[in-house]
Amino acid sequence: MIFTLKLDKNAGTHSLINFRESLPAANKAWPICFLALNILVFTGVTYSVLGGSPSFMSWINTHRESLLTLYGGLVLTLIVGNLVNWRLKSVLVFWSWSTPLPVAEVFKRYLPDRQGGKLEARGSCIDSLPRNPAEQEDFWFRIYSQHKAHPAVIEMRDHFLLAQELTWLSFVLLIFFGMGLITTGVLAIDTLIYAAFLILQYITASTVARSSGKRFLGNVLAVAETHKIA
């Protein structure tokens, strides 16, 4: 297997730390809808657990300040989410701080004969694809930098970024709403069911994001392979 990469050695550092992609504007409505739906569910569960008012609207008026403070914090979290380091969001997806993107795992899956592979870059030739995880991340980012505009790469990258954002929000909701229920001091079946729902929501979101992330990483290698010269 031969990869032909026209790498510009003067283009700067090709490191995964420079991965700075953000959620595209077309997908930003999904996190807002996701957050709004969770706010409605939390409000309903809290009313069911606490009650004490003849009607739902009167209960909302009674607890208006507390609810506005909580929801304001969530909206602020959504706003500043773009400032959160991508590495932290990836850790919440892949559950690994040392390897926030499992490039090495994807190398094994998509390039099984990497030890016999060959990399060419403007006259220089490396006998085999890198085995060191840090070098593999650097190599992957070099390929990604070249093919980031390819439709197959864009599609899976956007899917991964959306799933990663929903995972981040699921984690924040688990903390905010979980702590919110704990402060009520009421242990009811509704509370336990909702707590289980929040945990399941985060696990589901992270599982989907993990799958999308691996497909995104693999698509970059697959696109590069289609440009190989045998």
pLDDT of residue 133: 78
**Domains identified in the chain, total number:** 1
Angle between helices 103-110 and 189-226 (to 10 degrees): 60
Please tell me what DSSP assigns to residue 34.
Answer: H
User: Per mean pLDDT, which range of 11-15, 74-78, 198-202 is the poorest?
Assistant: 11-15
Q: How far apart are CA 155 and CA 162, in angstroms?
A: 11
> What is the CA 140 to chain-centroid distance, rounded?
18
Mean pLDDT of 91-110: 82
Residue 111 banded pLDDT, cuts 50, 70, 90:
low
Q: Per the domain annotation, does 141 fall within a domain?
A: yes
Q: Per the domain annotation, does 126 fall within a domain?
A: no
Mean pLDDT of 40-50: 79
Q: Per the domain annotation, does 128 fall within a domain?
A: no
Phi then psi dihedrals of residue 4, to 5 deg: -105, 110
Q: How far is CA 170 from CA 71, 86, 120, 165, 167, in A?
A: 15, 16, 43, 9, 5
Signed CA dihedral, 220, 214, 175, 46: sign only? positive
Q: Per the domain annotation, does 210 fall within a domain?
A: yes
Please say if the pLDDT value at position 122 is more than 70.
Answer: no
Q: Per the domain annotation, does 20 fall within a domain?
A: no
Confirm if 30 and 205 have CB atoms less than 8 A apart.
Answer: no
Confirm if 150 and 35 have CB atoms less than 8 A apart.
Answer: no
Mean pLDDT of 165-174: 92
In which order are the strands placed within the sheet that holds 124-126? 2-4, 118-121, 124-126
pLDDT > 90 fraction of the chain, expressed in percent and rounded? 21
Structural domain that includes position 104: 26-112+133-226
Pairing of strands 124-126, 118-121: antiparallel
Q: Per the domain annotation, does 91 fall within a domain?
A: yes
Q: Per the domain annotation, does 15 fall within a domain?
A: no
pLDDT of residue 42: 83
Q: Per the domain annotation, does 11 fall within a domain?
A: no
